[in-house]
Amino acid sequence: MTDEIEVLSDGEGLAVIGDPKAVELFLTARGLESRDLGVDRLSPLLSGLAGALNAGAVLAAGGGRWVQISEQSADLMKMLPLMEGPVSGIARAQFMVGNQFAQHVQIVQSSMTILTNPTVLTGIAGIMAQVAIQQAMDEITEYLEVIEAKVDDILRAQKDSILSEMIAVGLLIDDAMTVRREVGRVSEVTWSKVQAAPMSIAGTQAYALRQLDAIAEKFERENDVDELAKVARGAETSVAEWLAVLARCIQLSDAVAVLELDRVLDSTPEDLEKHRVGLKVARDNRTALIGRSTATLLGRMATKADWANANFKVLLNPFSSRGIVHATNSVAIDVGTLHGVLGIERELQAIEAKRWVEAAEGARDTVVGHGAQGVASAIRLKDSMLDKARRAVNEVAEDVAKRTARDSEELT
């Protein structure tokens, strides 16, 4: 091996392949965090290639690291002369490690020219997809740990049989991933235990989305501010739980995708590229559905929170109105966090709880606009209003009435 390096990009991450020391020097100089790529798992793809023995030795001796696309690595990509290769979606660049990493050096007779082979590039793209998926799984694990979500406890509390299956499916998939780490591949026996898992995962995801929709409907139906505040407090907890379940569904689906890619790599490597692309499309569709559903939930809650945050409702139910706004914003934070973890790009707006004084001023302006008769009607909206609210509105009504009478006298 020499100091030459191959850098490949699939738009999701970078694969840096070459002598381990050269790769480490390249990444350290750029301050980039990386994960092992596991290029030695390309052996099944090399059996039918010319010079396969030499190619296998090169890959086995070489180092391969994966770098997630981030702001820092994206800046590096702009500096690199990445060129589209024979495999769609995969760009590559070749370097000699030195003081100027971005200087492009074309090596005609390279020990790594095997990496220009479409079959090998397809295999590397598949492995890059696996590592990217595992990175996403790790981020979901961190998310669940931070929010201290006991997903299995949530599922056990439900009586639906699909959710009961989800717990068992999760255990089987976790076991399969453990075996894969120890063995380095996915055998037919291991795959047979989990190949039906997507059905249970999809059922659980659909169930969780229906629960969120039911929460939104309950929120919308309530027209008593005090009762709505109670519903909002319950929704704040329930939504967080079902978001955690959705995160677990995506995590398990990702794990199945990793196992699938291993099986395709072993059995039908010629299908690896199409399978990789298909899995990405399927994941994008799943996360897009979650993004749309959770954004709709938040929009429906925000509309009702705005209703509860109106001037007279704040005057009559200041604490309940504030609680509703607080709960809605809390849900928005939870939804936004999940969107970030799953890579869903949606802009969510927080609602500002109206202060009592601001509501009083707003109510006064409304009253002046509609006259003293409108004030009297507003006062009758709720007999159990707080004394402070009653006094304030009465004072506004008296002031408007005096002003109206004075204006009438001046006109006559």
Give per-residue pLDDT as tens, 252-291.
Answer: 999 999 999 999 988 888 888 899 899 999 999 999 999 9
3-state secondary structure of 5: strand
Residues above pLDDT 70, as percent of the chain = 65
Buried b (16+ CB within 10 A) or exposed e, 114-145: bbebebbbbbbbbbbbbbbbbebbebbeebbe
- Is 70 exceeded by the pLDDT of residue 324? yes
Mean of pLDDT values over 208-233: 92
Q: Which pLDDT value is given to residue 56?
A: 53
Q: How confident is the model at residue 101 (pLDDT cuts 50, 70, 90)?
A: very low
Cβ-contact 375, 343 below 8 angstroms? no
Residue bearing the bigger pLDDT, 375 or 199: 199
Q: How confident is the model at residue 102 (pLDDT cuts 50, 70, 90)?
A: very low
- Within 10 Å of residue 174's Cβ, how many Cβ atoms? 13
* CA pair distance 248, 205, nearest whole angstrom: 9
Q: In the 8-state DSSP scheme, what is residue 8?
A: E
Residue bearing the bigger pLDDT, 163 or 135: 135
Q: Which pLDDT value is given to residue 408?
A: 47
Amino acid at 318: P
* CA pair distance 328, 313, nearest whole angstrom: 16
Q: Which pLDDT value is given to residue 195?
A: 93
Q: Which pLDDT value is given to residue 172?
A: 95
* Interstrand relation of 13-18 and 35-36 (parallel, antiparallel or unpaired): unpaired
DSSP 69-113: --HHHHHHHHHS--EE-SSTT-EEEEEE-SS-TTS----SS-TTG
What global pTM score does this model have? 0.75
Q: How far apart are the first and last CA of the chain?
A: 104
For the chain, state the CA radius of gyration.
30
Cβ-contact 35, 64 below 8 angstroms? no
- Over residues 149-170, the pLDDT tens digits come to 788 888 777 767 777 788 899 9
Alpha-carbon distances of 410 from 398, 399, 404, 405, 406, rounded to whole Å: 18, 17, 10, 9, 6
- Is 50 exceeded by the pLDDT of residue 325? yes
Mean of pLDDT values over 357-366: 40
* CA pair distance 363, 89, nearest whole angstrom: 59
- Is 50 exceeded by the pLDDT of residue 388? no
